[in-house]
Amino acid sequence: MRHIIYDTDSRPKSRRILTYTAGHADDGRPARDVILYKWKLVAHDVARAKYETPDGITVNGEVAWVNRILHEGDILRVVITDHAPDRIIPTEGRLDIVYEDEDLICINKPAGIVVHPTHGHYADSLANRLAYYFEQKKEPHEIRTIGRLDKDTSGLLLFGKSRSAVGLMDAQAARGTRTKVSLALCEGECAESEGYVDIPIMRAFDGNIKRVAKDGGDPAFTSYKVEALYDGFSLVRLTLETGRTHQIRVHMSHIGHPLLGDPLYGNGPFTHPYSPDIKISRTALHASALAFDQPFAGNRIELTSDLPSDMAAFVTNTPVTGK
């Protein structure tokens, strides 16, 4: 007899339904093999499916345990549920949605907006806008960021719609199959066309948010390639092997090429060398490309984002001096 412990929490839930039709190679295998190895669900996901939902795990429409033996043609169905918290205030606001499916949503984030509510930004964060978007769609979801972007950084930012999806995406990052490429405008003309920065990063001793590149910190690895050289600055493509706070900003400043506009590791607002009316008033960093596997279906997804207008203005109004 199956013992069901129904969840009495009154908060709305999101439901992600996974289905799989057993093939010839699956004949005689237990359902757990599909659940654990094809979908890569963890024990907590399986427990919620078994005990929080009346039809959480079924085979051919009948409630089943994970040790149920599958036969060719059987249809396995698993329901993943998540509580949606009510602590984020839904706020109407523009969202540039680059990609969305049942498990993920990718936003092209503008510079100048924080990702999550913080002191002084209780209702004007990107998460507030996402909460409103999901509310209008009547799809309750917790706002779970995959990766991160600083307030002044623009570009692609991925969110997961369930704990399971986020866990699988984090595993991809650990394996190196989830990648992010960023573009930055850096002060000075880089002497090397490409390079690799292997310098630990740690919190500065003065207690503020600033980080420093210093032995004894956390390992940090950044690869860079110069896309073009301009009079007074460089357009650089960067990829990270680690995700330390302010990693790109710290590393590029450490090698003598801080990002244009960076008030913390560079020289702050930067004026165009030929057109004084064109300025960079924020850190000139843009997350331009993401590549990952869909967490359950497994298909490869590649997303891109063009340079935002402030960075593009510098590039298009300055002569190229080299590459």
CA angle 174, 176, 179 (to 5 degrees): 110
And the tokens for 57? 């795990």
Residues with Cβ within 8 Å of 84's Cβ and at least 6 positions away in sequence, in order, are: 11, 12, 13, 14, 134, 140, 141, 142
**Beta carbons of 31 and 59 less than 8 angstroms apart:** yes
**Beta carbons of 292 and 168 less than 8 angstroms apart:** no
- In the residue annotation, 150 being an active-site residue is answered as yes
Cα separation, 117 vs 88, whole angstroms: 8
Residues with Cβ within 8 Å of 138's Cβ and at least 6 positions away in sequence, in order, are: none
Catalytic residue, candidates 150, 152, 262, 310 = 150
Q: What are phi and psi of 155, to 5 degrees?
A: 120, -165
User: Among all residues, which ones are annotated catalytic?
Assistant: 150
